[in-house]
């Protein structure tokens, strides 16, 4: 369908920047127009890339959590029982399935579940550091988690337009 939401938004941004913002002279109002313009550019960028970034993030996080689950189950200690269950529940919960459009809302719900499981996993692994910290498998798992966190932050940074481009406030 045309015009798409991103096309409409780009038109609104162009109109705002070309016809509205230049006529604003009061300092606070000028700052607000610059902020609004930047926020609209951020929304346009998210419309274009957020879905794929979130999909990729969820996929990578599922892989990391699967490794965490394997590690905690193989550890044969009851200290990880609740984390193993939470991971299993998060991985088994399917928000987007066959015949279901992977909307941002559904992918965000999935991301929230997966990230809670990761957060609790990190806490449990940190608490187990005195017992397991020197084991190569433990260290490798921590490296996998850090790689995911770095990649996730880099994906998120790709969805932000720097605030101080163009005219300063």
The pLDDT tens digits of the residues spanning 15-44 come to: 999 999 999 999 999 999 999 999 999 999
pLDDT band at 134 (very low <50, low <70, confident <90, very high): very high
For the chain, what percent of residues have pLDDT higher than 70?
Answer: 96
Average pLDDT over residues 50-61: 94
Cis peptide before 131 (omega within 30 of 0): no
pTM reported for the whole predicted model: 0.84
Query: How far apart, in whole angstroms, are the C-alpha atoms of residue 84 and residue 121?
Result: 8
């Amino acid at each position: 369908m045309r015009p798409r939401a991103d096309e409409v938004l780009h038109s609104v941004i162009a109109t705002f920047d070309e016809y509205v913002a230049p006529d604003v002279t009061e300092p606070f109002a000028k700052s607000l127009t610059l902020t609004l313009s930047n926020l609209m550019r951020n929304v346009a960028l998210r419309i274009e890339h957020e879905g794929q970034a979130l999909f990729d993030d969820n996929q990578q996080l599922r892989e990391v959590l699967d490794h965490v689950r394997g590690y905690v189950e193989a550890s044969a200690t009851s200290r990880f029982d609740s984390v193993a269950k939470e991971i299993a529940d998060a991985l088994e919960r399917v928000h987007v399935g066959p015949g279901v459009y992977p909307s941002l809302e559904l992918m965000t719900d999935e991301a929230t579940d997966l990230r809670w499981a990761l957060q609790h996993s990190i806490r449990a692994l940190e608490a187990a550091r005195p017992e397991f910290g020197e084991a190569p498998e433990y260290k490798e798992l921590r490296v996998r988690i850090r790689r995911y966190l770095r990649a996730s932050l880099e994906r998120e940074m790709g969805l932000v337009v720097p605030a101080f481009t163009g005219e300063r406030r």
